[in-house]
Structure 1
Amino acid sequence: MGDHGRPTGSEGSELRVGVVGVGQRAHLATLANRPGVARVVSCADPSPRGQDDAGHLFGADVAIHERYEEMLDDRLDAVFVLTPDHLHTHPALFFLDAGIPVFVEKPLAITVADCDALLTAAFRSRTRLYVGHNLRHLPMLRRMRELIDTGAIGTVRSIWCRHFVGHGGDFYFKDWHAERAHTNGLLLQKGAHDLDVIHWLAGGYTRDVVAQGTLAVYGDNPRRGTPGAAPERRRMPDWFDPDVWPPSALRDLNPVIDIEDLSMMLGRLDNGVLTSYQQCHFTPDYWRNYTVIGDEGRLENFGDGIDGDPATIKVWNRRRSGYRQDADLSLPIPSPDGGLHGGADRALVDEFLRFASAGGPTETSPVAAREAVACAAAATASLRTNGTPVAVPEPAPELVHYFDNHQTAPAPAADSARQA
């Protein structure tokens, strides 16, 4: 039995899995089709295309519904909520209240209030809540975390992240992502990945931010799509063409664009670590660069290992004059054959299925997911008020205590000492 009192994959049986929202991220749920472990048996999507895709992705036997409320009759053991960001909250609350473990795609929600409502629902119902922060399973970042935990650079004092979003125009400015009503902004929608990683590597959460941002490139582009042209039928693979360059040459942008394509923020964590995060959606390259500075050295990644790209972590922890490309330690990161995000998506789904069935600690954290949204929302408020400092609200102590005791993976001894 699960925390919620209903059977969750009794021994020898497969978990019966549901999917809400069969769109761009539905491939995640295909990884849950594991004979003897789990099987997708039910889907809900209001659009004809989503319903069509459900049959193609999950087979002729899958039950297909227009409304997620109808899925309860399919006797589910777990549910993936893979809707657009602003539509996460209601289905997630519905299934948490029904006692069914829920996977919510990141970001958890686009407002702090909705994040807190989801944490509170999981706390009150004792239902398992999981958030899809797949970067915590990325081989490059896991190796970076191991180096920090073993003291390779001493105590962490600062983390810088530069995110070069080379396909930003295609990925985020041709559909619902381009509207504040659906994302809040890309510091939240896209940045929640990186802010969660920064918190994870630093061992703390952001409490104060300042930020600046602008719509530098895509706002002046007059080549917009037709308003009201059934945008739910269009998805990024339908229009993506990497040969269109420069970004100003893009066509069929979303009719409404009221988010930033260039953002920079500074943060102070509750453990004193200082951070910076920069995000640009019109670079020619597409990767993340993390620099972690400790009081005994620094480390940095070159390439991030996503989708088979090569990655190397370099550590400098001896003093020399000038830049040294060879570094004191250079670690190539092998990328698993096949699998999106360097195998992180499969590891993420595997962890969720295990968690839905048996509970226990997880590498991802609902509280951390909420803190990433809270940090991003505060930074977005700051940049839209010309860099006004904004405090990041803390979650309720009883929620932190509950998830710390029921889901948080124990920190290594070195990590505990680093945070002391």
Structure 2
Amino acid sequence: MGDGHAGDGHMGDRAEPTGTELRIGVVGVGQRAPLATLANRPGHARVVSCADPHPRGQADAGLLFGADVAVHERYEDMLGDDLDAVFVLTPDHLHTGPAQFFLDAGTPVFVEKPLAITVEDCDTLLDAAFRSRTRLYVGHNLRHLPMLRRMRELIDKGTIGTVRSIWCRHFVGHGGDFYFKDWHAERAHTNGLLLQKGAHDLDVIHWLAGGYTRDVVAHGTLAVYGDNPRRDARTPVPDGERMPDWYDPDIWPPSALRDLNPVIDVEDLSMMLGRLDNGVLTSYQQCHFTPDYWRNYTVIGDEGRLENFGDGIDGDPATIKVWNRRRSGYRQDADLSLDVPTPDEGLHGGADRALVDEFLRFAATGGRTETSPMAAREAVACAAAATTSLRSNGTSVAVPEPAPALVDYFANHQTLPAAAGDPAARQA
């Protein structure tokens, strides 16, 4: 890992902002666009330009960012709006075009996770940032989630010794509504939900373990939503509709859902095993038809283990329990139990606000960040390999490594240093 220096980032040929408001652009004014409203900070930053090909997105730009915002159908036309940074919040398969366009133009870019849906597109964007020396940031907000930050602190303190294994179970209780009624249900737009939804968790696993996955095996299936007789009740999502328009938490069981996407060729149940480059073994399970919705991480070290109960997202409580003394049988009374306060404001336990704060600082002055484009690429590479494995009857698949020049560049320009006393060599 490079040692890095604060302020090492670049903005291509653009001049550094000097005491004036950052002029922010937004490409894709859809489901995730409210994230960019957190960038509206009088005297510091302001969204001044948006692009969306759909009339609803164009109308929502004014509602979200004010009547004075410039609205375009094509993102290429935003280049004349003198932007200091851009949020790319399009559907996943449409990230690469606008992100590469603005990186090549020297404008710092925020790309919502996943960075892309193929390793090749991820590497295209990393290479564009490398060639232009333009700042690239990826929206892995879970790195700012209070519960996970506390888990990371406990690991760094050596509370459970050296990490040897991490297990993650992701219960996606609203999976039918969130992912099987629109473009998310199609491989062409997501690769698979193990990638689209799992990129978050796989990035966290890498972050907590201090390494990247190098080989995987996986199994998965379309267990519930593929046989739903109501899936063909309509044509694709009516023009302009979004998930909040149809979401109904009272519909249960999942087989009662109506109006599913006509094309469903992604898995709703996936399980994978991975081996990291530092020897840590991992397990990730994702289910889209559970009655509850949360993530459970279990981190096992050679001197104990820790586990979260509740994840602190959207106001839910979160407790971290640590067992690091030897006793017989199950003990609900852990050796250490920590309730993690969750901020009331904002989505994802305040993580979205912290994410935008970091991006604005990074766009303006560079320096190290909690998130990492290289780590985002590694999460996609791991998930893509696992998706290949599960569609090949569990064949072992190697995860392709990035080019060494790119690894060195992003380590030296955008990587947080290892915590003092950290037993593992931390990666971004």
TM-score range, shorter chain: over 0.9
Instruction: Assess if the C-alpha contact under 8 Å between 1:2 and 1:357 holds in 2.
Output: no
Aligned 1:6-405 pairs, distance under 5 A: 6-11=14-19, 13-224=20-231, 229=236, 231-405=238-412
The Cα shift of 1:418 comes to: 2.4
- RMSD (Å), alpha carbons: 1.2
Aligned residue for 1:188, secondary structure, equals helix
- Conserved in 1, the CA contact under 8 Å of 2:186 and 2:263? yes
Q: CA contact under 8 A between 2:104 and 2:132: conserved in structure 1?
A: yes
Equivalent AA in structure 1 for residue 41 of structure 2: R
For the residues of structure 2 that align with 1:299 and 1:85, how far apart are their CA atoms? 33
Q: Which moved more, 1:387-396 or 1:218-227?
A: 218-227
Shift of 1:86: 0.1
Q: Partners of 2:378 and 2:421 in 1: how far apart? A: 23
Deviation at 1:9, TM superposition (A): 2.6
> CA deviation digits over 1:255-304, x for unaligned, max 9?
10000000000000000000000000000000000000000000000000
Q: Deviations over 1:346-376 (max 9, x none)?
A: 0000000000000000000000000000000
Q: Percent identity?
A: 85
Instruction: Determine if contact 1:135/1:344 at 8 Å carries over to the other structure.
Output: yes
- AA of the residue aligned to 1:388: T
Report the alpha carbon displacement of residue 101 of structure 1 after superposing the two structures with TM: 0.1
Take 1:188 and 1:293, find their aligned partners in 2: how far apart are those partners? 24
Answer yes or no: is the 8 Å Cα contact 1:22–1:43 preserved in 2: yes
Q: Deviations over 1:298-347 (max 9, x none)?
A: 00000000000000000000001111111000000000122100000000
Q: Say whether the 8 Å CA contact 2:374–2:410 is kept in structure 1.
A: yes
Residues 1:227 and 1:73: Cα distance change in structure 2 (over 3 Å): farther
Query: Is the contact between residue 112 and residue 374 of structure 1 (CA under 8 Å) also seen in structure 2?
Result: yes
For residues 143-170 of structure 1, what are the alpha-carbon distances to aligned partners after superposition, in whole Å with 9 as ceiling and x for unaligned?
A: 0000000000000000000000000000
Q: Do the aligned residues in 2 keep the contact of 1:8 with 1:356 (CA within 8 Å)?
A: no
SS at match of 2:195: helix
Please tell me whether the aligned partners of residues 233 and 260 of structure 2 are also in contact (alpha carbons under 8 angstroms): no
Q: Which runs of 5+ in 2 are unaligned?
A: 1-8
Q: 1:23 and 1:8 mapped to 2: Cα distance?
A: 30
Amino acid at match of 1:360: G
Change (3 A) 1:399 1:319: same
Secondary structure of the 1:64 match is strand
Cα offsets for 1:81-136 (capped at 9, x unmatched): 00000000000000000000000000000000000000000000000000000000
> Which stretch of the first structure deviates more once superposed, 216-225 or 336-345?
216-225
Conserved? CA contact 2:234–2:259, under 8 Å? no
Greater relative contact order: 1 or 2 (C-alpha under 8 angstroms, separation 6 or more)?
2
1: CA distance between counterparts of 2:14 and 2:239? 35
Q: 1:4·1:99 contact (CA, 8 Å) conserved in 2?
A: yes
**Displacement after TM superposition at 1:217 (Å):** 0.2
Shift of 1:8: 4.0
1:418 equivalent to 2:420? Answer no
SS in 2 for 1:304: coil
Letter in 1 for 2:165: S
Alpha carbons 2:186, 2:264 under 8 Å: kept: yes
What SS does the corresponding residue of 1:291 show, helix, strand or coil?
strand
Alpha-carbon deviation of 1:223?
Answer: 1.2
**Match in the other structure for 2:5:** none
Cα deviation for residue 2 of structure 1 reads 4.5
Aligned residue for 2:421, secondary structure, equals helix
Other-structure match for 2:11 = 3
- The one-letter code sitting in structure 2 at the alignment partner of 1:418 is A
1:233 CA drift (Å): 1.0
User: Structure 1 residues 83 and 138, CA, compared in 2 at 3 Å: closer, same or farther?
Assistant: same
Contact 1:116 1:395 in 2 (8 A): yes
Which residue identity does 1:236 align to in structure 2?
Answer: M
Amino acid aligned to 1:155: T
Superposed displacement of residue 419, structure 1:
3.4
Residues 20-45 of structure 1 show CA distances to partners (whole Å, capped at 9, x for unaligned) of 00000001100000111100000000
Inter-partner Cα distance in structure 1 for 2:389 and 2:241: 32
Instruction: Tell me the secondary structure at the aligned position of residue 339 of structure 2.
Output: strand
Contact preservation (8 Å) 1:14, 1:39: yes
**Mapped contact 1:21–1:44 kept (Cα < 8 A):** yes
